[in-house]
Amino acid sequence: MEEFKIFLSYSRKDTKIFIEFKDYLEAYLTSINSDAVKYVVWTDNKIDVGSHWQEVIKKQIEESKAAILLVTQLFFASKFIKPNEFKKFLEKSRKENYTMWRYVVGMACFCKEITSSMYRMRFFFI
């Protein structure tokens, strides 16, 4: 069985929104899993205490086959997401068949610099 890992990127300050979204996403993916493919969502809450969390995130991005970005004002305000996660997602999407979906929550302000890089992404509004 092939594992299809999806990296779920979000701002840690959006934990309430993240938990609800993740629960629904995992329920949906469970319903479409098959003998051939198992969809798995990876999030930073799976990082073991005491581990080198930045290296773990980097490795999980490399191993993922797709990314879902939970986009809010706080997502864009994060000093970690853009240079570390988002940059890696873009690099992967340019080199391989890597899909990024963004789910826009509320009135997220789209910075010109980031928005222009997201032109190939699918949009979903919550």
Q: What is the CATH number of the domain that holds 56?
A: 3.40.50.11530
Q: What is the percent of the chain with per-residue pLDDT over 90, rounded to a whole number?
A: 64
Query: How much is the pLDDT for 103?
Result: 83
Which residues span the domain enclosing 55? 2-125
Which of 117, 75, 114, 123 lies closest to 93, judged by CA? 117
- Mean residue pLDDT across the chain: 85
Total structural domains within the chain = 1
pTM above 0.85, yes or no: no
Q: Are 71 and 11 in contact (CB under 8 A)?
A: no
- Using alpha carbons only, what angle is made at residue 74 by residues 78 and 17, rounded to the nearest 5 degrees? 125
What is the mean pLDDT of the segment spanning 103-122? 54
Q: Which residue has the tokens 């290296």?
A: 55
pLDDT band at 55 (very low <50, low <70, confident <90, very high): very high
